[in-house]
Amino acid sequence: MEAVVTNPVPERRKPVVPSAVLGTLIFVIAEVMFFAGLISAHTISRAGSLPGLWPMPGQPTLPAEATALNTVLLLLSGAVLFFGYRLWKKQSPVAHWVTLAAWGLGAAFVALQGVEWVALLSQGLTLRSSPLGSFFYLIVGGHAVHALAALVAMFWAWMQMARGQLTSGFFFGVQTFWYFVVLMWPVIYARVYF
């Protein structure tokens, strides 16, 4: 009788970090550098401006007090999303409503920023009116684009969660992206508005 020789198939090693997680982290690192570059350029230009010319005479000052409310809404949105994630992990039936509340707070932030932009444009602060206007619309606009993209992703995650089809990898990606949007904002707010 012949002996049957079998080659043992090596067990496939589980990846250290899922591809979705790794991809999101690399993306966020690249985005952090994008905003770091813009804020760096803004800081150096502002420091190099002559006294009394930032903002330039005749240009409106940025509404830092009004934007504080938007900032609170955005920070609250991040906290509520984290709470929603904890509930989702525990398979709570209210998790998707909490996630929707986080989305609503984020959408309110973007909407209020839009209102602020309309007011500033009507007061004469445009992309070409002054260096402050250029940096303001570039940095805050860049952040708004990221916030909108993250809101679309969060809404998609919410729909999947409500249907019971949400995967942890996708939710991790959405959360990471939203936390990046939330945590990037206070830095932008502190550097650009004051």
Partner 1 sequence: MNQLVLLACAVCGAGEDRASGALLVMTIIISLLPLGMMGGLIGYFVYQSRKGDQAAEDAK
Question: Per-residue x/- mask for partner 1, residues 121 to 140, rule CB under 8 A?
Answer: ---------xx---------
Least distance from partner 1 to the Cβ atom of residue 37, Å: 7
- Choose, by CB under 8 A, the member of 46, 117, 144, 155 that binds partner 1: 46
The answer to whether the beta carbons of residues 116 and 66 sit under 8 Å apart is yes
CA distance 118 to 122: 6
- For residue 27, what are the CA distances in angstroms to 4, 52, 79, 151, 154? 50, 39, 22, 17, 17
Q: Which stretch binds partner 1 (CB under 8 A): 45-53, 65-73, 99-107, 151-159?
A: 45-53
- For residue 14, what are the CA distances in angstroms to 131, 166, 169, 170? 51, 21, 15, 18
Per CB under 8 A, does 118 bind partner 1? Answer: no
* Dihedral (Cα; 177, 83, 161, 25), 10-degree rounding: 20
- Cβ-based nearer residue to partner 1, 44 or 119: 44
> How many other β-carbons are positioned within 10 Å of the β-carbon of residue 88?
19
Least distance from partner 1 to the Cβ atom of residue 11, Å: 10
| Binding residue count for partner 1, defined by CB under 8 A | 25
- Choose, by CB under 8 A, the member of 29, 111, 115, 159 that binds partner 1: 29
Per CB under 8 A, does 176 bind partner 1? Answer: no
Strand, helix or coil at 46?
A: helix
Least distance from partner 1 to the Cβ atom of residue 185, Å: 17
